[in-house]
Each structure stands twice: as structure tokens, then as C-alpha cells.
Amino acid sequence: MIIPSLDFIQGKIVRLYQGNYTCKTYYDIDIFKQIDKYIHNGATHIHLVDLDGCSNPLYRQKNILSIISRYKNIYFQVGGGIRTQNDIEDLFHAGADKIVIGTSAILHPNQFKKWLFKYGGDKLILAVDIKINNKDEKKIAIHGWKTVTNMDIEDIVNSFIPWGLKNILCTDISRDGTFLGPNVILYKYLKKKFPNIILQSSGGICSVADICLLKKNRIEHVIVGRALLEKKFTFSEAQRCWQKE
């Protein structure tokens, strides 16, 4: 499905360029009106990212809880600065459907395994933000993409599958916010490597043709942020394209 994405810094909708906090674009758009618009056009799921929380967990916004709790007939998946079980409990209590966890899962894998066991693979999404180097190695970035580790995506995903991992959200950092198109080669590789994993792609979407291409390659979900905010196409147009394939 198509999942609209809304990212926040200090309560305002924003998009970053390749994860760089110094290269951000603010949008003078009311968050509630934007969510209402997506719902009116047929969206059933919304992806919310607290970028303040990604940068510093101490700044994790409590107002994101009020956003989630306001809507009863929409599914929210929420990420950004989630480090503790209390963070997860607060979000589920507010009405979040799924929790997206990246840095914490990479730095504290045993803790994430316990969460997978406790909440189930249907409720947790592993965010794997990828920096591909000149050797075509797919290294994972953490701390709001500021730190690139020596860990490969394959090893990380394989380590969590026995504990019930079912969903991953993969972003090619070099494509995020660029309108350069999605890294279809990366996603095809991941689908072949992990055929039983439900894959969400993120980054680079510029046109409905990009969305159709991902659908043709059996990608289950597509996260779309900037392209919708800047009216490259509408959610309705994206949805029609998705349903035709």
C-alpha cells in the first residue's frame, strides 16, 4: 500500500535532504489538516517520524501522542527516538498501530529481541537506514543517520528473524528527499534475500511511475513524503497506480 509520511522538527512538518539536519525544508502545512486530507483521499495508514527524537531522545515530542490519540479510524506507524519499553507503551496506549525502531534495535539487539517476543513481529518495524559504499556494501546508519556503522543489513535482519521479525522499513539515505527515484535494485535484492519479510521502501519517490515500478517488483509498501507535500502527484493518483498493477 501507499503510506504517506509526515516528519516533524519542533512540531512543524519538515523534510530532510539525505538525512542531513542542516539541509531541511519546512512546510507551512497544518498537520491535522494534512492528515485529514490523506484520510479523505483514501489513506488508511500514516507514517509519523519525530526527527527531534531521532536526533536526541530527550527531545522526543509528547505532542505526537496527542496527534495519534485524536484519530480512531486510521493506523499510525510511529518512529523517532524510541529507546525504552515505556516509549513503546506510551505510543501503543495513545493508539499507535505499529512502532518503528532503528537505532535502539541496532545498538541493543537483545533488548529488541525481547520486544519482538513481547509485542510480536506484527507490531514492530525494524528501520534499516542504508549507506551503500563504493564496495556496494550496505552499511546501517544510526542516530538519525549521523553515524554509519560497520554492520551489514543482511547480518542484522538475519539476527532478528528467529525472534519473530516480520517487517522492515528500508531507506537508502542517498535517495531520501532527492527525487532521484527509489533504489529498486536494493529492494529487489532484499526481497530475494528475505522473501518472507514484509518490506517498506522509503526514499527518492518522484512520480507515480516510481510507485508502479516498486509494485511490479513485489514491494509490499511504499512510504511517500516529500512528493506528496510538494504535489508531484496526489495520494489518489498514487493509489490508482498501485491498484492497477
Instruction: Give the pTM.
Output: 0.91
Within 10 angstroms of residue 35's Cβ, the number of other Cβ atoms is: 20
Catalytic, 30? Answer no
User: How many domains is the chain partitioned into structurally?
Assistant: 1
Catalytic residue among 52, 129, 172, 176: 129
Distance CA 127, CA 106 (A): 9
Among 231, 163, 217, 212, CA closest to 189: 217
* Contact by Cβ (8 Å): 153, 189: no
Domain carrying residue 89: 2-244
Catalytic, 7? Answer yes
Catalytic residue among 7, 50, 52, 172: 7
The DSSP symbol for 163 reads G
According to DSSP, the residues that pair with 124 across neighbouring strands are 99
Helix axes 31-40, 63-70, angle to 10 degrees: 30
Distance CA 156, CA 199 (A): 15
- H-run or E-run covering 26: strand 20-26
Q: What is the pLDDT along the chain (245 residues), one digit of tens a residue?
A: 999 999 887 777 887 665 556 667 888 998 899 999 999 999 999 999 887 656 555 555 566 787 888 898 899 999 988 889 998 998 999 899 999 999 899 999 999 999 999 999 999 999 999 988 888 888 898 876 678 888 899 999 999 999 999 999 999 988 877 789 999 999 999 999 999 999 999 999 999 999 999 999 999 999 999 999 999 999 999 999 898 76
CATH assignment at residue 148: 3.20.20.70
